[in-house]
A and B are shown apart, each in its own frame.
Chain A
């Protein structure tokens, strides 16, 4: 694998690491996590431990005075949204590297309470990390408990190049190319839309009417007002892409889905095929920190657009094959009616 070293990062080793720490019991957890954190504090790294409250106490006790050099973050907040978390963490890694330091993260995600569709996206993020963090010099260690479902642990060995055994890193023989793994995440065909889904054929390029239609539908659900605006921006982007690059007929469908966390689902299909190697908007665009341009919003409908769509929605599912293209946007609905909606 090629390691890209960019100017401005010269003071930091570009050797980014992303390791899984499989553990069975507290001792194995501490056996891997403690040296990782202590080494970081000793080396002057920016050290972040993302974990639940119980684990935080455990780590603080075990670290002793070194705990002062560790930033603790609550896992439920830190792992709020796959695309956002990836972007924020990458931003931290870039900024830390820019200051001539290394970012070191112990990341203990919350797996148990997540609906299956979300689990797939978090696993995809674990794979994409290997592409996105190249050149940042960051060190990421992800503890996986043996008590997790077997599939989750098995997936971790495919998405992390190395495992930590005690203090020794060993290569994971099952490690997959991140893009191949990501394609695997999209391997399952999407369940067909329900028969009573609202369907609208899009044949005019002016999307004003489409937005009126979508917002009418969305306002009958429990989607908060700011969610409606995010949905409108996302739908506009996806339909604009379909009008530019896809093939008619372009059809929009809307429904609400109670399975796997209640969500408003908005699907856009067209008959077009995406070129092989087309970007799915999975890698966050880098802001122009060094003033040399970088990837800004200027790309509009390109990679930036699809990435931003992922940011605006809870989950984005894309199926681009010989049978046409489907982009499904899911926006989580509050489980109980929102007491107050944002906006005026």
Chain B
């Protein structure tokens, strides 16, 4: 199903005027998108507004990456935690980082979600940013709690809210927003309805992209999306990325829907990787383009043991993301 009215962008390419949608499959995917969104804003003199009840140091994706040889609880680990807290405190003091509790941003007196209040909060923050000297404002919040909440009116309220946020952000030359929802928080038809109130789909930054080959991490299913052309000039980087997603004894899916070419060495590399997998695991090739599949069939699937043909058509992420 083509969805040409959506622009799909990696998080680092989100720009003012974008009202973007992130339906994440789990914390890893969310952190890989929201982490860079917040970090890059702070590093480039842009204001970051995050509506959440979490303290700044617990924002998704901001926890310092574990360093080699440093275990959680080690003094060195405590140091980096302290560094992070100190840094975030500084951003908070200058007003560049605004972490606003839900109660203050969008809840009515009874603790219910109040879209109009959310709109007011965001407008206020965006207007203030210009005077504060920031060149742009990044807005984000996770709406999963609204959908999970006891109110049956959660979805209609959210749809109303999203339409108005969209109307406010799209013409703006300063504001950009990412609306997060846990994909597991609501049924598929609701996800689609919510997604349709956005014009930009945001995803993780590619692991690799040189204009000829693009490798993007996928989370559900676990694996990689491989776009463009794979040949000997890029075997090494592909093997490296493949190894990175193959660590946790999980099935690895390769989404080949946009693969234009793979050479024999590349197929050999896949087979070689597959033979090293645990006995009941396989390397699954999803959404094979007919031309590529024809080549594999001619060579013979049985000569590439450990490779399994996966699903047809477009990946599900394509229409719900």
The B contact surface, by secondary structure, is helix
B275 at the A interface (CB under 8 A): yes
Q: Is the beta-carbon distance between A297 and B295 smaller than 8 angstroms?
A: no
**Contact check: which of A207, A211, A233, A342 meets B264 at CB < 8 Å?**
A233
Interface string of A205-220 (1 = CB under 8 A from B): 1111001000000000
Q: Is the beta-carbon distance between B268 and A208 smaller than 8 angstroms?
A: no
Q: Is the beta-carbon distance between A237 and B300 smaller than 8 angstroms?
A: no
Q: Is the beta-carbon distance between B298 and A230 smaller than 8 angstroms?
A: yes
**Contact check: which of B229, B264, B292, B298 meets A305 at CB < 8 Å?**
B264
B245 at the A interface (CB under 8 A): no
CB-defined contacts of A304 to chain B, threshold 8 Å: 264, 268, 303
Interface string of B278-316 (1 = CB under 8 A from A): 000000000001111011001110111100000000000
Distance of A229 Cα from B289 Cα, bound (Å): 11
Interface string of A166-181 (1 = CB under 8 A from B): 0000000000000000
Distance of A91 Cα from B303 Cα, bound (Å): 11
Q: Is the beta-carbon distance between A296 and B294 smaller than 8 angstroms?
A: no
Interface string of A51-91 (1 = CB under 8 A from B): 00000000000000000000000000000000010010001
A301 at the B interface (CB under 8 A): yes
A27 at the B interface (CB under 8 A): no
Nearest residue (CB) in B for A243 is B232
Q: Which of B219-270 contact A (CB under 8 A)?
A: 229, 231-233, 261-265, 267-270
Distance of A285 Cα from B299 Cα, bound (Å): 10
Q: Is the beta-carbon distance between B268 and A312 smaller than 8 angstroms?
A: no
Given contacts A240-B263, A285-B303, contact A298 B231 (CB under 8 A): no
Min CB gap B111→A, angstroms: 52
CB-defined contacts of B298 to chain A, threshold 8 Å: 84, 230, 311-312
Q: Is the beta-carbon distance between B290 and A297 smaller than 8 angstroms?
A: no
Q: Is the beta-carbon distance between B212 and A300 smaller than 8 angstroms?
A: no
Q: Is the beta-carbon distance between A207 and B231 smaller than 8 angstroms?
A: yes
Q: Is the beta-carbon distance between B294 and A297 smaller than 8 angstroms?
A: no
Which of B262, B263, B292, B305 is packed against the most chain A CB atoms within 10 Å? B263
B271 at the A interface (CB under 8 A): yes
CB-defined contacts of B268 to chain A, threshold 8 Å: 296-300, 304-305
Distance of A205 Cα from B232 Cα, bound (Å): 9
B272 at the A interface (CB under 8 A): yes
Interface string of A112-136 (1 = CB under 8 A from B): 0000000000000000000000000
Q: Is the beta-carbon distance between A298 and B271 smaller than 8 angstroms?
A: yes
Given contacts A240-B231, A311-B299, contact A229 B291 (CB under 8 A): yes
Q: Is the beta-carbon distance between B290 and A226 smaller than 8 angstroms?
A: yes
Q: Is the beta-carbon distance between B291 and A343 smaller than 8 angstroms?
A: yes
Interface string of A296-330 (1 = CB under 8 A from B): 11111100110011011000000000000000000
Distance of A296 Cα from B269 Cα, bound (Å): 10
Interface string of A186-203 (1 = CB under 8 A from B): 000000000000000000
Nearest residue (CB) in A for B269 is A300
Distance of A327 Cα from B303 Cα, bound (Å): 24
Distance of A304 Cα from B264 Cα, bound (Å): 9
Min CB gap B295→A, angstroms: 5
Distance of A233 Cα from B261 Cα, bound (Å): 8
A236 at the B interface (CB under 8 A): yes
Q: Is the beta-carbon distance between B263 and A230 smaller than 8 angstroms?
A: no
Q: Is the beta-carbon distance between B290 and A344 smaller than 8 angstroms?
A: yes
Distance of A238 Cα from B299 Cα, bound (Å): 16
Nearest residue (CB) in B for A236 is B263
CB-defined contacts of B262 to chain A, threshold 8 Å: 233
CB-defined contacts of A312 to chain B, threshold 8 Å: 295, 298-299
CB-defined contacts of A288 to chain B, threshold 8 Å: 305
Nearest residue (CB) in B for A342 is B290
Distance of A305 Cα from B262 Cα, bound (Å): 13
Min CB gap B315→A, angstroms: 16
A252 at the B interface (CB under 8 A): no
Instruction: Give 12 CB contacts A-B under 8 Å.
Output: A206-B212, A208-B231, A229-B292, A233-B263, A236-B231, A287-B302, A296-B303, A297-B268, A297-B303, A298-B269, A301-B264, A311-B299
Given contacts A91-B302, A229-B295, A296-B275, 12 further A-B contacts (CB under 8 A): A208-B229, A208-B233, A211-B229, A230-B294, A233-B261, A240-B263, A296-B305, A297-B264, A297-B272, A298-B271, A298-B272, A342-B294
Nearest first, the 7 closest Cβ-Cβ pairs linking A and B are A229-B291, A300-B268, A300-B265, A297-B268, A298-B272, A297-B271, A226-B294
The chain A residues found within 8 Å of chain B, CB to CB, are: 84, 87, 91, 205-208, 211, 225-226, 228-230, 232-233, 236-237, 240, 285, 287-288, 296-301, 304-305, 308-309, 311-312, 342-344
